[in-house]
Amino acid sequence: MLRRRRGAIGKFIREKSNSFSAAITKRISSLRNEDDDGGDGHTVKEFNLVGLKVVKALKEERKELKGRISFFSRSNCRDCGAVRSFLRERNLNFVEINVDVYPGREKELIERTGAASVPQIFFNEKLIGGLVVLNSLRNSGMLETKMEEILGRKCPEDAPAAPVYGFDEAEEAPAEADEMAG
């Protein structure tokens, strides 16, 4: 008896939440003007519904970046987290190469930068530097210029490659598996 009630309550909640979502969507859709194409220069749209506030941020117009932003990181690195947040806030696509997850890539980091310190940010194959350099570029207003200059062209082959799961694993793992099998 109790199981049937739980099932009925769960079904009731699912049905009501779906109809509530549909009502919100319908209400928001009805607020859109026919002549509004989003070209009024505003980057944020705000709708006030009874008991609910919806804010929609429109994407900024920016030149298409053909290149790749990549950075080397470590787990639990505060500066690496700041770089990640910085790139996400600006809706920039990036490749993160965590040398704790892919220890074989640490050798590449040292070869490219001369040190094992992280974060190390690359625009295509060009080393930009760490968090301090990124903040300096942003504060001076040169970040956008540098990005358009370097990332405006296709990423060359000699840029840090994105990690490929299953292929960037340590070389020792298959050897240990062979010893156990034989």
Residue with tokens 């994105």: 162
Q: Is 118 helix (H, G, I), strand (E, B) or coil?
A: coil
Residue 153 phi, psi (nearest 5): -110, 160
Nearest-5° angle of CA 55, CA 59, CA 62?
Answer: 155
Give the integer Cα–Cα distance in Å for 95 and 127. 14
pLDDT along the chain (182 residues), means of 10: 62 64 63 50 62 66 81 96 94 94 94 95 95 95 93 92 75 49 51
Distance separating alpha carbons of residues 6 and 30, to the nearest angstrom: 36
Q: What local confidence, expressed as pLDDT, does residue 10 receive?
A: 64
Residue 124 has which token pair? 């295509």
The whole-number pLDDT of residue 18 equals 62
Q: How far apart are CA 84 and CA 89, in angstroms?
A: 9
Taking 3-state DSSP, the helix, strand and coil percentages for the chain, each rounded to the nearest 5, stand at: 45, 15, 40
Q: What is the pLDDT of residue 172?
A: 44
Q: What is the pLDDT of residue 164?
A: 84
pTM above 0.85, yes or no: no
pLDDT at position 64 is 76
Bridge partners (DSSP) of residue 95 are 70
Report the pLDDT value the prediction gives residue 173, as an integer from 0 to 100: 45
- Sole residue written with tokens 């987290």: 81
